Amino acid sequence: ANLNAINKHKDLPWNLTFSYGRALQSAALKAWRGKSENIEKAQKIFNHRAKMNFLAAKGEWSEVLEN
């Protein structure tokens, strides 16, 4: 939400992002828990986080998209 709010200002002199490692991995690792039966669920969560981070970096994220 913070990254998105900053990037909504289109007149920034440079692109602003952050380290995505933790933002991408945390929820997926919690879902996976090292169990093969959780792989698909973890992959879906990872892909969703990647999409949300991509949108936030462009200032196009919305909390509605999280559901």
Q: State pLDDT tens for residues 15-51.
A: 777 777 787 899 999 999 999 999 999 999 999 999 9
As a whole number of angstroms, the distance between CA 8 and CA 42 comes to 29
As a whole number of angstroms, the distance between CA 49 and CA 55 comes to 10
pLDDT at position 49 is 93
Quickly state the pLDDT bin for 5 (edges 50, 70, 90).
confident
As a whole number of angstroms, the distance between CA 9 and CA 5 comes to 8
Q: What angle do CA 35, 26, 62 make, to 5 degrees?
A: 125
Q: Which two tokens stand for residue 31?
A: 């879902």
Say yes or no to pLDDT of 10 above 80. Answer: no
Could you tell me the pTM of the whole model? Answer: 0.77
Say yes or no to pLDDT of 65 above 90. Answer: yes
Neighbours of 52 (CB within 10 A): 19
Q: Which two tokens stand for residue 67?
A: 């559901």
pLDDT at position 37 is 98
